[in-house]
Chain A
């Protein structure tokens, strides 16, 4: 890859302005990541955070990003702050990850979608910190079911830009908070599923023997229950158990973090249902890799097993997990709607796209059909899922070694 890659980097790749825009858009994320790095360092799970003196790049993904953001913030680098994760333009230019990033940055659709995703994240963060769309739950009972007053030409918002719902709450605020909840659900259920799948798959594939058999039995069993039913059963059981319910209401998740029962149930149900696919992929890949020379070399150097697994093999399977993550992210957001409809997801009155779509079932049958709730929720969901969908496709292509050059 050496010489041609260098030649490519001299000319600006196609769609470079989008790449630059995407970098600017994700600047605050670098800050967040820096904070995360500092926290990790404070609790001692990361030993070396940055090496301001040397050029030796520290190993590991998070560290590397933290280093670059720090250099930027301290004026040591004239580079724009890098994108978090997938699409940072790499400056050392070797290895599959920088190759992937370079290919993604050349993909205009992927960059546009990344900007879209980042915008959703900003809206969600601003709503979560109470900067925009404050008090979504406050409604005026005398102003229920007001139609949207927004007009494009001339641009006017009016009193209720996207109308109001049955409690007189502003639909635009509900949509924004629904986006926040959807991102929570997508991120955390994918995180739960990927973590369980990665750890169990790695353990099963690496150790083999009886550990493998138990884990294979476990996922074969879970897999044979149709996923919709398993998810339904999990959330049903969790929501209908009165003592679990009370226990959750009193726990710190509810009291301090204000994660509603519905949100938690969905994350749990989707996470515990879909780790199976990740586990299967990771296990197969581990079986393929565990007898390779680099693993044998690491083991013969006396590197502890957990380190061999997580530092030497996991980076080689991580691209598969990344694609699964974004697929699960989309899946979780769609399943939220179905679970909420079935009454085992978000509760009525909570700001969620599922509830907004669900209410249309009754509200469309009124004399003046209330279409703005289902419209706003569907449009918001469409935008997010379309961006994630296209970005996942581009990611998969960028990771596919057969499509190189």
Chain B
């Protein structure tokens, strides 16, 4: 298995190189002169020179790309345009609050999604199934921004059930996370239920399920031992590939509820024209994704004996 992991890590190299190349092309070539977009339209040439020197933008494009690669490899992405902090430190600081919101919310949402999916697939065509499906389609037809704005306005601002805004690293601080986590769950359960229902339904139509039912196994055994286990592969894919999104948090929720995570960091970077931060977040997101794909491939072999890692 270790040989497999090492080989997969080698395969990841061209992809990660591609990510850095695309990010570099986007921000340093297509994006125009970064110094100018930072300093504004009417900046003097001398100021531009100074900014270029400061951020290493005075070299040729291959030189700049080399420098960018060096930054990526050493996890040192220079300094933010706006706050002048080191980007690496900003990202390390942001990961904690993002995870504090994302992990519990993701956990509950996934459990709820899988449970409802299994439920709907088993009772397919019944009133409960129709109701859950209708509700999830309806929930998906509303913009996530509307959920966040209305949720914050009604539950926190108007009815004062939750604090409006804030974050604190303590037990008391968890009250700040309840409302955003609830909105997160509401936002993701709709799509999750539909996905898991389709997966489970696929599995329930197979022959071995009919055989199991015919030989008189209990429904519970069929559902949890047979159907759930055999549908684990798509479930794991979906769960593991959400990992980068957990670290990146939710752009909307974090910026609305004042959680100083990576999502809020990204939003601030966009509004402040702070492209070193944005570049670093893109590259780190891609690394996490590549890592997630590797983990899910290893997990396949763990849950399904038919999968061999070679």
Contact = CB atoms under 8 A, between A and B. Distances in A.
Interface stretch (A68-76, A162-170, A356-364): A356-364
Interface string B136-175: 0110111111100110010001000000000000000000
Interface in B268-298: 270-271, 273, 275, 278, 281-282, 285-286, 289-290, 293
B31 A386 contact: no
A337 B148 CA distance: 12
B98 interface: no
Contacts of A236: 31, 270, 275, 278
Size band of the interface chain B makes with A: 35 or more
Contact of B266 (A229, A341, A386): A229
A248 to B, nearest CB: 12
A381 B143 CA distance: 8
A229 B141 contact: no
A353 interface: yes
A210 B256 CA distance: 47
Contacts of B281: 229
A29 interface: no
Nearest to B267: A342
A30 B193 CA distance: 38
A237 interface: yes
Contacts of A357: 143, 145-146, 149
A244 B33 CA distance: 11
Nearest to B150: A374
B244 interface: yes
Interface string A377-399: 11001101110011001000000
Contact of B289 (A217, A226, A343): A226
Interface in B100-156: 137-138, 140-146, 149-150, 153
A233 B266 CA distance: 10
B19 A233 contact: no
Contacts of B248: 226, 228-229
B27 interface: yes
Contacts of B41: 242
Contacts of B27: 233, 237
A257 B275 CA distance: 32
A79 B142 CA distance: 39
B32 interface: yes
A24 B25 CA distance: 50
B138 to A, nearest CB: 7
Between B37, B41, B141, B245, the greatest number of chain A beta carbons within 10 A of the residue's beta carbon is seen for B141
Nearest to A390: B137
B22 A225 contact: yes
Interface in B1-34: 14-16, 18-19, 22-23, 26-27, 30-32
B247 to A, nearest CB: 9
Contact of A378 (B143, B244, B266): B143
B180 to A, nearest CB: 15
A230 B251 CA distance: 13
Contact of B30 (A237, A365, A374): A237
A233 B278 contact: yes
A220 B285 contact: no
B252 interface: yes
B36 interface: yes
Nearest to A369: B153
B15 A221 contact: yes
Contact of A226 (B140, B244, B270): B244
Contacts of B26: 233-234, 237
A224 B137 contact: no
A240 B143 contact: no
A229 B285 contact: yes
Contacts of A385: 140-142
B270 A344 contact: yes
Interface string B37-61: 1000100000000000000000000
A240 B150 CA distance: 30
Nearest to B289: A224
A270 B251 CA distance: 17
Contact of B140 (A237, A343, A374, A389): A389
A381 B141 contact: yes
Contacts of B36: 242
Between B19, B142, B256, the greatest number of chain A beta carbons within 10 A of the residue's beta carbon is seen for B142
A226 B285 contact: yes
B244 A242 contact: no
Contacts of A237: 26-27, 30-31
Contacts of B251: 228, 338, 342
Contacts of A365: 153, 157
A217 B146 contact: no
Between A236, A361, A382, the greatest number of chain B beta carbons within 10 A of the residue's beta carbon is seen for A236
Contacts of B245: 226, 228
Contact of B143 (A220, A232, A238, A353): A353
A377 B271 CA distance: 24
A226 B31 contact: no
B248 to A, nearest CB: 6
B145 A338 contact: yes
A225 B18 CA distance: 10
A53 to B, nearest CB: 48
Contacts of A337: 143-146
Contacts of A374: 146, 149-150
7 contacts: A217-B14, A221-B19, A224-B16, A224-B19, A232-B278, A237-B31, A360-B153
Given A233-B27, A240-B31, A357-B149, 18 more contacts: A221-B22, A224-B19, A224-B286, A225-B23, A225-B285, A225-B286, A226-B289, A229-B282, A230-B282, A240-B32, A241-B37, A243-B32, A334-B144, A337-B143, A342-B251, A364-B149, A364-B157, A386-B141
Q: Which 9 A-B pairs have CB atoms at the shortest separation, nearest pair first? A: A221-B18, A241-B32, A385-B141, A237-B31, A226-B285, A337-B143, A386-B141, A224-B289, A224-B286
Interface of B: 14-16, 18-19, 22-23, 26-27, 30-32, 36-37, 41, 137-138, 140-146, 149-150, 153, 157, 244-245, 248, 251-252, 256, 266-267, 270-271, 273, 275, 278, 281-282, 285-286, 289-290, 293
